[in-house]
Amino acid sequence: QVQLVESGGGSVQAGGSLRLSCAASGAPITTYSLAWFRQAPGKEREPVAFIDTASTTFYPGSVKGRFTISRDNAKKTLYLQMNSLKPEDTAMYYCAARPSWSAEYNYWGQGTQVTVSS
């Protein structure tokens, strides 16, 4: 099992950048697929980036070309580099993890707030 803690959120102007980090503790993360999700008030939670155990990545169209997910297994840390931020990116951002053999993201961080002003 792993415990996840996000950091790096804050307030930025449209067009700015932020780098989110997710520190894992407990089990090594080498066998876990990782992801970032976000949820704005009154809206459904949505995925923004995925990275598997081979560091293969996937992004939905809303963030593709602007966000980059990466992982450092030795540091047990997941990252999300966010560039060209838009007001619609404003949300609570969560990191999540699942064992490579599972279809469910069972482990979640507490979230870090990202606010983008126009």
Q: What whole-number distance in Å separates Cα of residue 96 and Cα of residue 40?
A: 17
Q: Is 78 left (phi over 0), alpha (psi -120 to 50) or beta?
A: beta
Over residues 48-94, the pLDDT tens digits come to 999 999 999 999 999 999 999 999 999 999 999 999 999 999 999 99
Q: What is the mean pLDDT of residues 19-42?
A: 97
H or E element: which one contains 72?
A: strand 67-72
* pLDDT of 100 strictly over 90: no
Paired tokens of 66: 């602007």
Mean pLDDT of the chain: 97
- Lowest mean pLDDT across 14-18, 65-69, 100-104, 113-117: 100-104
